[in-house]
Amino acid sequence: MILETPPIGLLLAASGETGKLLFTMLLVFGAAKVLYEVFEALRQPGIVGEILAGVLLGPGVLNLLQPTDFLNALAELGAMFLLFRVGLEVRSSDLLETGKTALLVAVLGVVIPFTMGFAISDLWHGSPVEALFLGAAMVATSVGITAQVLSSKGLLNHVSSKIILAAAVIDDVLGLILLAVVSSMAKGEVRLMDLLLTAGMAIGFTVAVVRWGSKTMARVVPRVQETLKGDNAEFKIAMVLLLGMGLLAIEAGVAAIIGAFLAGMALSNSVSHRVHDLTSGLSEFLVPFFLVGIGLNFNLKAFAEPDVLLMAGVVLVAAVISKLVGCGLGAWQLGRRNMFRVGAGMVPRGEVGMVVAQLGMSLGVVPDTVYAIVVSMSLLTTMVAPPLLNIAFRGESGD
């Protein structure tokens, strides 16, 4: 069975799997776009409405949908196309120019959130392993939400935006290394060589694509295009590279969305505007599944206990402050306004924080309460980020 959505199953029992699949996609996409328009009419970020659509449809409110492998796959594709589209607007030379600042932003954006997360769990009398996983979840940065906001405002070429994107890539690599260490400690075995190999592959893959990806594609794309027949040859090449880089990124140990972003960046100097248009069309359809998927993971019932609700509030405040301060300090030489912009851009944890929580659950070292707290932190930081970015970039307009 492809979908496990009991309410829809009752409504469409006679329609079979295809009917359930189509109805689910219609429900997700339709609800996302309706709430997007409502929020835009209220002069609020539309993507917050799309995330709230997931909350309303999910088990915490209407219980019309629940997270499934099918919806998770669509959400992952949505995130990949979003980051690929963003990558098409970014040149690797621009990211390399921000290298030192982005590295400092990423490092401080790992150290300070991890320390705060560990300390909060320790004060709440959590076990050392619980504290490690909460700290690791606090470290995560999901650049998809920030990228969507900046792209919609035409601000991807702003210096703060370049630093955010570069720092998010570095943050993903550092977060991966930290998660590997924490997971090894949870299992009671720390294999130094395995950790070094994972770190080396992740760093090597990212650096190689950033430094040589654009130059390589500038030579390869025209030659391959000459040999292909049919329309939209450039787009076909772009899709092959997108999927291939996503797979390579996973094999290298980083997230598929980072591979998608790097693929887009490698093609930024090589493809026509037609590829941008076709990619935007696919993104417009798939990105709502990514945003709604975040909301589907939020379950209000987990916060029936006052202690859990209080800790969730403390963790949320710490999650926002730790990135604003930590990442902002990394950009101090750019002035206070840009410090705030960089910090705000690194706030959302999104699906990355949820992955950490799910790993802890699968290892049996994270209790249900901590899992619920991390999921709520991931969701609420994602919802807080767009308004923060609106404030941070107020008065700025795209090129």
Greater model confidence, 112 or 227: 112
Pick the closest to residue 105 from 341, 392, 316, 349 (CA basis).
341
Q: How many domains does one find in the chain?
A: 1
pLDDT of amino acid 11: 53
The answer to whether 136 and 182 have CB atoms below 8 angstroms apart is: yes
**pLDDT exceeds 80 at position 156:** yes
- Whether residue 399 is contained in a domain is answered as no
How large a percentage of the chain has pLDDT more than 70? Answer: 91
**pLDDT exceeds 50 at position 365:** yes
pLDDT of amino acid 398: 59
- Whether residue 398 is contained in a domain is answered as no
Q: How confident is the model at residue 396 (pLDDT cuts 50, 70, 90)?
A: confident
- Whether residue 357 is contained in a domain is answered as yes
- Whether residue 346 is contained in a domain is answered as yes
Q: What angle do CA 193, 195, 200 make, to 5 degrees?
A: 95
**pLDDT exceeds 80 at position 56:** yes
| Contacts with 30 (C-beta within 8 Å, 6 or more apart), sequence order | none
- Whether residue 397 is contained in a domain is answered as no
**pLDDT exceeds 80 at position 90:** no
- Whether residue 73 is contained in a domain is answered as yes
CA distance 350 to 171: 14
pLDDT of amino acid 99: 78
Q: What is the CATH number of the domain that holds 374?
A: 1.20.1530.20
- Whether residue 239 is contained in a domain is answered as yes
**pLDDT exceeds 50 at position 307:** yes
Across the chain, mean pLDDT equals 84
The answer to whether 105 and 331 have CB atoms below 8 angstroms apart is: yes
Q: How confident is the model at residue 2 (pLDDT cuts 50, 70, 90)?
A: very low
The residue segments making up the domain with residue 387 are 6-392
- Range from 9-23, 87-101, 102-116, 137-151 that averages highest in pLDDT: 102-116
The residue assigned the tokens 């093609």 is 267
CA distance 137 to 124: 16
- Which 8-state DSSP code applies to residue 300? G
Q: Using CB atoms within 10 A of its CB, is residue 171 exposed (0-12), middle (13-18) or buried (19+)?
A: buried
